[in-house]
Structure 1
Amino acid sequence: MANLILYATAFGFLGVSYVKDRKKTKMALKKAWKAFENILPQFLGIIIVVGLLLSILNPEVIARILGGQSGWFGVVISSVVGAITLMPPFVAFPTAALLLENGAGLMQMAAFVSSLMMVGVVTAPIEMQYLGKKLTLWRNVLAFIFSFLVAYVMGRVV
Protein backbone atom coordinates (compact mmCIF):
# COMPACT_ATOMS: atom_id res chain seq x y z
CA MET A 1 0.00 0.00 0.00
CA ALA A 2 2.85 2.38 0.84
CA ASN A 3 4.41 1.79 -2.59
CA LEU A 4 1.13 2.66 -4.26
CA ILE A 5 0.93 5.92 -2.31
CA LEU A 6 4.53 6.82 -3.19
CA TYR A 7 4.01 6.08 -6.90
CA ALA A 8 0.74 8.03 -6.97
CA THR A 9 2.42 10.99 -5.26
CA ALA A 10 5.36 10.91 -7.68
CA PHE A 11 3.11 10.76 -10.73
CA GLY A 12 0.92 13.49 -9.26
CA PHE A 13 3.90 15.82 -8.89
CA LEU A 14 5.06 14.85 -12.36
CA GLY A 15 1.65 15.88 -13.67
CA VAL A 16 1.84 19.20 -11.83
CA SER A 17 5.31 19.79 -13.27
CA TYR A 18 4.10 18.94 -16.77
CA VAL A 19 1.20 21.39 -16.49
CA LYS A 20 3.48 24.11 -15.12
CA ASP A 21 6.28 23.77 -17.72
CA ARG A 22 6.11 21.02 -20.35
CA LYS A 23 9.52 21.76 -21.83
CA LYS A 24 11.40 21.53 -18.51
CA THR A 25 9.50 18.38 -17.52
CA LYS A 26 10.35 16.65 -20.80
CA MET A 27 14.00 17.69 -20.41
CA ALA A 28 14.05 16.38 -16.82
CA LEU A 29 12.54 13.07 -17.91
CA LYS A 30 15.18 12.73 -20.65
CA LYS A 31 17.96 13.41 -18.10
CA ALA A 32 16.42 10.89 -15.71
CA TRP A 33 16.29 8.28 -18.47
CA LYS A 34 19.97 8.89 -19.31
CA ALA A 35 20.91 8.54 -15.65
CA PHE A 36 18.90 5.31 -15.48
CA GLU A 37 20.71 3.98 -18.57
CA ASN A 38 24.07 4.76 -16.93
CA ILE A 39 23.12 3.12 -13.63
CA LEU A 40 21.44 0.03 -15.08
CA PRO A 41 24.59 -1.91 -16.15
CA GLN A 42 26.19 -1.54 -12.71
CA PHE A 43 22.96 -2.41 -10.95
CA LEU A 44 22.31 -5.47 -13.11
CA GLY A 45 25.91 -6.62 -12.74
CA ILE A 46 25.76 -6.55 -8.96
CA ILE A 47 22.31 -8.17 -8.89
CA ILE A 48 23.59 -10.97 -11.14
CA VAL A 49 26.65 -11.52 -8.95
CA VAL A 50 24.55 -11.53 -5.78
CA GLY A 51 22.01 -13.84 -7.45
CA LEU A 52 24.78 -16.28 -8.41
CA LEU A 53 26.21 -16.16 -4.90
CA LEU A 54 22.77 -16.76 -3.41
CA SER A 55 22.25 -19.74 -5.72
CA ILE A 56 25.63 -21.20 -4.76
CA LEU A 57 25.43 -20.35 -1.06
CA ASN A 58 22.20 -21.52 0.49
CA PRO A 59 20.60 -19.49 3.31
CA GLU A 60 22.11 -21.80 5.94
CA VAL A 61 25.65 -21.00 4.79
CA ILE A 62 24.91 -17.28 4.64
CA ALA A 63 23.37 -17.46 8.13
CA ARG A 64 26.40 -19.34 9.46
CA ILE A 65 28.93 -16.85 8.02
CA LEU A 66 26.96 -13.58 8.20
CA GLY A 67 23.96 -14.43 10.34
CA GLY A 68 23.09 -13.11 13.75
CA GLN A 69 24.65 -16.18 15.36
CA SER A 70 28.02 -15.44 13.71
CA GLY A 71 28.42 -12.60 16.20
CA TRP A 72 31.41 -10.31 15.98
CA PHE A 73 33.22 -12.73 13.66
CA GLY A 74 30.51 -12.09 11.05
CA VAL A 75 30.64 -8.35 11.74
CA VAL A 76 34.40 -8.33 11.10
CA ILE A 77 33.99 -10.31 7.85
CA SER A 78 31.18 -8.03 6.70
CA SER A 79 33.11 -4.90 7.55
CA VAL A 80 36.25 -6.08 5.76
CA VAL A 81 34.27 -7.07 2.65
CA GLY A 82 32.51 -3.71 2.71
CA ALA A 83 35.79 -1.85 3.07
CA ILE A 84 37.40 -3.48 0.02
CA THR A 85 34.29 -3.43 -2.18
CA LEU A 86 33.54 -0.55 -4.51
CA MET A 87 29.79 -0.35 -4.97
CA PRO A 88 27.43 2.61 -5.38
CA PRO A 89 24.82 3.16 -2.64
CA PHE A 90 21.86 2.45 -4.92
CA VAL A 91 23.26 -1.06 -5.34
CA ALA A 92 24.55 -1.56 -1.79
CA PHE A 93 21.21 -1.21 -0.04
CA PRO A 94 19.30 -3.71 -2.24
CA THR A 95 22.26 -6.08 -1.93
CA ALA A 96 22.13 -5.85 1.86
CA ALA A 97 18.35 -6.37 1.75
CA LEU A 98 18.79 -9.53 -0.35
CA LEU A 99 21.38 -10.85 2.07
CA LEU A 100 19.12 -10.05 5.04
CA GLU A 101 16.26 -11.94 3.39
CA ASN A 102 18.58 -14.93 2.93
CA GLY A 103 19.79 -15.22 6.50
CA ALA A 104 22.36 -12.49 7.09
CA GLY A 105 22.22 -10.69 10.42
CA LEU A 106 21.29 -7.05 10.93
CA MET A 107 24.51 -6.17 12.77
CA GLN A 108 26.54 -7.78 10.01
CA MET A 109 24.72 -5.90 7.25
CA ALA A 110 24.99 -2.64 9.19
CA ALA A 111 28.76 -3.14 9.36
CA PHE A 112 28.88 -4.08 5.67
CA VAL A 113 26.92 -1.06 4.46
CA SER A 114 28.60 1.44 6.76
CA SER A 115 32.13 0.30 5.88
CA LEU A 116 31.14 0.13 2.21
CA MET A 117 29.98 3.74 2.28
CA MET A 118 32.74 5.18 4.48
CA VAL A 119 35.93 3.16 3.98
CA GLY A 120 37.71 3.42 0.66
CA VAL A 121 40.46 0.84 0.32
CA VAL A 122 40.11 0.80 -3.47
CA THR A 123 39.93 4.58 -3.75
CA ALA A 124 42.67 5.29 -1.17
CA PRO A 125 45.45 5.92 -3.73
CA ILE A 126 43.42 8.67 -5.38
CA GLU A 127 42.41 10.08 -2.02
CA MET A 128 46.07 10.15 -0.94
CA GLN A 129 46.93 12.38 -3.90
CA TYR A 130 44.46 15.03 -2.72
CA LEU A 131 44.41 14.66 1.06
CA GLY A 132 47.78 13.11 1.79
CA LYS A 133 48.74 9.69 3.09
CA LYS A 134 48.33 10.46 6.80
CA LEU A 135 44.85 11.99 6.54
CA THR A 136 43.64 9.24 4.20
CA LEU A 137 44.91 6.55 6.56
CA TRP A 138 43.33 8.19 9.61
CA ARG A 139 40.01 8.77 7.85
CA ASN A 140 39.80 5.16 6.69
CA VAL A 141 40.85 3.69 10.05
CA LEU A 142 38.35 5.83 11.96
CA ALA A 143 35.59 5.04 9.43
CA PHE A 144 36.37 1.31 9.76
CA ILE A 145 36.15 1.53 13.56
CA PHE A 146 32.93 3.54 13.24
CA SER A 147 31.39 0.70 11.19
CA PHE A 148 31.71 -1.50 14.29
CA LEU A 149 30.02 1.17 16.38
CA VAL A 150 27.17 1.28 13.85
CA ALA A 151 26.87 -2.52 14.00
CA TYR A 152 26.81 -2.45 17.81
CA VAL A 153 24.13 0.24 17.92
CA MET A 154 21.99 -1.58 15.35
CA GLY A 155 22.34 -4.78 17.35
CA ARG A 156 21.18 -3.06 20.52
CA VAL A 157 18.36 -1.02 18.97
CA VAL A 158 16.69 -3.75 16.96
Structure 2
Amino acid sequence: MNIALYSVTTLLLILSVIKDKRKTKKALKKAYKAFENILPQFLGIIILVGIVLAFFNAELVSKIIGNQSGIYGTILSLVVGSITLIPAFVAFPMASLLIENGVGYMQIGAFVSSLMMVGFVTIPLEMKYFGKKTTLLRNLFALLFSFVVAIILGKVMS
Protein backbone atom coordinates (compact mmCIF):
# COMPACT_ATOMS: atom_id res chain seq x y z
CA MET A 1 0.00 0.00 0.00
CA ASN A 2 2.81 2.44 0.91
CA ILE A 3 4.58 1.74 -2.37
CA ALA A 4 1.39 2.58 -4.29
CA LEU A 5 0.92 5.86 -2.41
CA TYR A 6 4.55 6.89 -2.91
CA SER A 7 4.35 5.95 -6.60
CA VAL A 8 1.18 7.99 -7.19
CA THR A 9 2.65 10.94 -5.27
CA THR A 10 5.87 10.81 -7.30
CA LEU A 11 3.93 10.59 -10.56
CA LEU A 12 1.74 13.56 -9.62
CA LEU A 13 4.80 15.55 -8.57
CA ILE A 14 6.45 14.87 -11.94
CA LEU A 15 3.25 15.94 -13.74
CA SER A 16 3.17 19.10 -11.66
CA VAL A 17 6.78 19.93 -12.56
CA ILE A 18 6.00 19.38 -16.24
CA LYS A 19 2.93 21.61 -16.06
CA ASP A 20 4.42 24.49 -14.04
CA LYS A 21 7.90 24.21 -12.58
CA ARG A 22 7.67 27.54 -10.69
CA LYS A 23 4.39 26.71 -8.92
CA THR A 24 5.65 23.25 -8.02
CA LYS A 25 8.80 24.69 -6.49
CA LYS A 26 6.72 27.21 -4.53
CA ALA A 27 4.38 24.43 -3.31
CA LEU A 28 7.32 22.26 -2.23
CA LYS A 29 8.79 25.19 -0.28
CA LYS A 30 5.45 25.70 1.50
CA ALA A 31 5.22 21.98 2.26
CA TYR A 32 8.74 22.00 3.67
CA LYS A 33 7.92 25.00 5.90
CA ALA A 34 4.78 23.23 7.16
CA PHE A 35 6.84 20.12 7.83
CA GLU A 36 9.39 22.18 9.79
CA ASN A 37 6.58 23.62 11.92
CA ILE A 38 4.98 20.22 12.59
CA LEU A 39 8.14 18.22 13.26
CA PRO A 40 9.02 19.57 16.75
CA GLN A 41 5.52 18.88 18.10
CA PHE A 42 5.41 15.47 16.47
CA LEU A 43 8.83 14.44 17.78
CA GLY A 44 8.04 15.84 21.22
CA ILE A 45 4.93 13.71 21.59
CA ILE A 46 6.63 10.59 20.20
CA ILE A 47 9.52 11.09 22.65
CA LEU A 48 7.06 11.66 25.51
CA VAL A 49 5.19 8.45 24.68
CA GLY A 50 8.52 6.63 24.42
CA ILE A 51 9.62 7.90 27.84
CA VAL A 52 6.28 6.93 29.40
CA LEU A 53 6.54 3.46 27.88
CA ALA A 54 10.15 3.17 29.08
CA PHE A 55 9.31 4.06 32.68
CA PHE A 56 6.03 2.20 32.74
CA ASN A 57 6.32 -1.11 31.01
CA ALA A 58 3.66 -2.17 28.52
CA GLU A 59 2.07 -4.41 31.16
CA LEU A 60 1.46 -1.49 33.54
CA VAL A 61 0.17 0.79 30.77
CA SER A 62 -2.10 -2.05 29.68
CA LYS A 63 -3.44 -2.41 33.23
CA ILE A 64 -4.18 1.30 33.48
CA ILE A 65 -5.75 1.81 30.03
CA GLY A 66 -5.70 -1.62 28.41
CA ASN A 67 -8.66 -3.82 27.46
CA GLN A 68 -8.93 -5.19 30.99
CA SER A 69 -9.11 -1.68 32.49
CA GLY A 70 -12.73 -1.54 31.31
CA ILE A 71 -14.88 1.45 32.14
CA TYR A 72 -12.29 2.98 34.51
CA GLY A 73 -9.60 3.04 31.82
CA THR A 74 -12.11 4.45 29.36
CA ILE A 75 -13.12 7.24 31.73
CA LEU A 76 -9.45 8.02 32.45
CA SER A 77 -8.81 8.17 28.70
CA LEU A 78 -11.81 10.49 28.25
CA VAL A 79 -10.52 12.83 30.96
CA VAL A 80 -6.97 12.89 29.63
CA GLY A 81 -8.20 13.44 26.06
CA SER A 82 -10.50 16.26 27.20
CA ILE A 83 -7.77 18.22 28.94
CA THR A 84 -4.98 17.59 26.42
CA LEU A 85 -4.32 19.86 23.48
CA ILE A 86 -2.58 17.76 20.81
CA PRO A 87 -3.05 18.21 17.06
CA ALA A 88 -4.57 15.31 15.11
CA PHE A 89 -1.43 14.70 13.06
CA VAL A 90 0.35 13.87 16.32
CA ALA A 91 -2.54 12.12 18.09
CA PHE A 92 -3.08 9.37 15.53
CA PRO A 93 0.53 8.11 15.35
CA MET A 94 0.67 8.32 19.15
CA ALA A 95 -2.53 6.25 19.36
CA SER A 96 -0.95 3.68 17.07
CA LEU A 97 2.11 3.46 19.33
CA LEU A 98 -0.09 3.02 22.38
CA ILE A 99 -2.15 0.26 20.72
CA GLU A 100 1.09 -1.55 19.80
CA ASN A 101 1.97 -1.42 23.51
CA GLY A 102 -1.22 -2.98 24.80
CA VAL A 103 -3.66 -0.08 25.19
CA GLY A 104 -7.25 -1.10 24.42
CA TYR A 105 -9.17 0.07 21.38
CA MET A 106 -12.03 1.33 23.54
CA GLN A 107 -9.65 3.43 25.61
CA ILE A 108 -7.84 4.79 22.54
CA GLY A 109 -11.20 5.57 20.96
CA ALA A 110 -12.20 7.52 24.08
CA PHE A 111 -8.88 9.35 24.18
CA VAL A 112 -8.70 10.36 20.51
CA SER A 113 -12.40 11.18 20.22
CA SER A 114 -12.43 13.39 23.31
CA LEU A 115 -9.10 14.91 22.25
CA MET A 116 -10.61 16.01 18.94
CA MET A 117 -14.04 17.08 20.18
CA VAL A 118 -13.84 18.19 23.81
CA GLY A 119 -11.96 21.38 24.52
CA PHE A 120 -11.49 21.78 28.26
CA VAL A 121 -8.42 23.95 27.75
CA THR A 122 -10.20 26.17 25.24
CA ILE A 123 -13.44 26.61 27.23
CA PRO A 124 -12.69 30.24 28.26
CA LEU A 125 -12.09 31.29 24.67
CA GLU A 126 -15.10 29.34 23.43
CA MET A 127 -17.34 30.94 26.08
CA LYS A 128 -16.23 34.36 24.91
CA TYR A 129 -17.55 33.69 21.39
CA PHE A 130 -20.43 31.26 21.89
CA GLY A 131 -21.58 31.95 25.43
CA LYS A 132 -21.42 29.84 28.57
CA LYS A 133 -24.49 27.68 27.98
CA THR A 134 -23.64 26.77 24.38
CA THR A 135 -20.01 26.02 25.25
CA LEU A 136 -20.89 23.80 28.21
CA LEU A 137 -23.59 21.94 26.27
CA ARG A 138 -21.32 21.41 23.27
CA ASN A 139 -18.54 20.03 25.45
CA LEU A 140 -20.93 17.84 27.44
CA PHE A 141 -22.46 16.36 24.28
CA ALA A 142 -19.00 15.91 22.77
CA LEU A 143 -17.88 14.06 25.91
CA LEU A 144 -20.96 11.81 25.83
CA PHE A 145 -20.49 11.17 22.12
CA SER A 146 -16.83 10.29 22.74
CA PHE A 147 -17.94 7.76 25.34
CA VAL A 148 -20.44 6.22 22.90
CA VAL A 149 -17.76 6.08 20.19
CA ALA A 150 -15.42 4.33 22.63
CA ILE A 151 -18.01 1.71 23.54
CA ILE A 152 -18.88 1.03 19.90
CA LEU A 153 -15.20 0.81 18.98
CA GLY A 154 -14.59 -1.54 21.90
CA LYS A 155 -17.42 -3.83 20.77
CA VAL A 156 -16.44 -3.79 17.09
CA MET A 157 -12.69 -4.32 17.63
CA SER A 158 -12.91 -7.02 20.29
TM bucket normalised to smaller: over 0.9
Distance 1:124 1:12 in 2: 45
| 1:71 paired residue number | 70
Matched, 1:54 2:22: no
Aligned pairs for 1:40-119 within 5 A: 40-119=39-118
Ranges in structure 2 where 5+ consecutive residues have no aligned partner = none
| 2:122 paired residue number | 123
Tell me the amino acid that sits aligned with residue 148 of structure 1.
F
Ranges in structure 1 where 5+ consecutive residues have no aligned partner = none
Post-superposition shift, 1:41? 1.0
User: CA deviation digits over 1:104-154, x for unaligned, max 9?
Assistant: 000000000000000000011111111111111000011001111001111
Tell me the amino acid that sits aligned with residue 2 of structure 2.
N
| 1:17 paired residue number | 16
Q: Percent identity?
A: 60
User: CA deviation digits over 1:13-45, x for unaligned, max 9?
Assistant: 111111111111100000000000111111111
Q: Provide the secondary structure at the position in 1 that maps to 2:119.
A: coil
TM-score normalised over the length of structure 2? 0.97
Aligned residues: 157
Distance 1:142 1:151 in 2: 14
Post-superposition shift, 1:157? 1.6
Tell me the amino acid that sits aligned with residue 129 of structure 2.
Y
RMSD between aligned alpha carbons?
0.7
Post-superposition shift, 1:156? 1.7
Distance 1:63 1:50 in 2: 14
TM-score normalised over the length of structure 1? 0.97
Tell me the amino acid that sits aligned with residue 122 of structure 1.
V
Distance 2:47 2:77 in 1: 20
